[in-house]
A = this chain, B = another copy of it.
Amino acid sequence: MDCIGVVDTTFARVDMASEAIDEIKSLAPDVEVRRVTVPGIKNTIWGAKKLAREGCTALLVLGWVGPSLTDKLSYLAMSIGLIELQIHMDVLILDVTVHEDEASDERELKTIAVDRARKHARNLVALMRGDLSKFAGMGLRQGRPDVGPII
């Protein structure tokens, strides 16, 4: 485990990276964390590749997505790009995206962002140490309460 990379944006309206890094530090205090901030979600692939080349084998990418169709298509391009990067390089990337249309007010959006960033930071550390099969099919959610399995 060389280092954990964190990529975030200036477009985001919540400093999710600080939340995620705080979570990582408390769970894996000996791991080096590197961070790069880029303008928007489509630029996160460049940031992730940069950190991967510097030796980070696990990465958290924190994105903020506007409500328009253009924003949705940018989200799609970002998603395809981060997957491509994982096919071409040996890194694990978890992307954490907050979408402006998933909450009715700013307060709720911030709550979602903080919860999602922290929970996916935990997921990243868990995946680096093994896998998540004990939670398979459990209906876990990030940014919201878990919905649980269908009984």
Question: Using a CB–CB distance below 8 Å, which chain A residues touch chain B?
Answer: 8-18, 35-39, 42-43, 45-47, 49, 65, 68-70, 72-88, 92-95, 99, 102, 106-107, 109-110, 120, 123, 127, 131-142, 147-150
Copy number in the complex reads: 5
From B17, B43, B138, B148, A94 is in contact (CB under 8 Å) with B43
The reply to whether B72 and A70 form a contact with Cβ atoms under 8 Å apart is yes
Q: Which residue of B lies closest to A139 (CB)?
A: B13
Are the C-beta atoms of B84 and A38 separated by less than 8 Å? no
CB-defined contacts of A84 to chain B, threshold 8 Å? 81, 83-84, 87
Contact A133-B35, Cβ < 8 Å, known A73-B75, A79-B42, A87-B45: yes
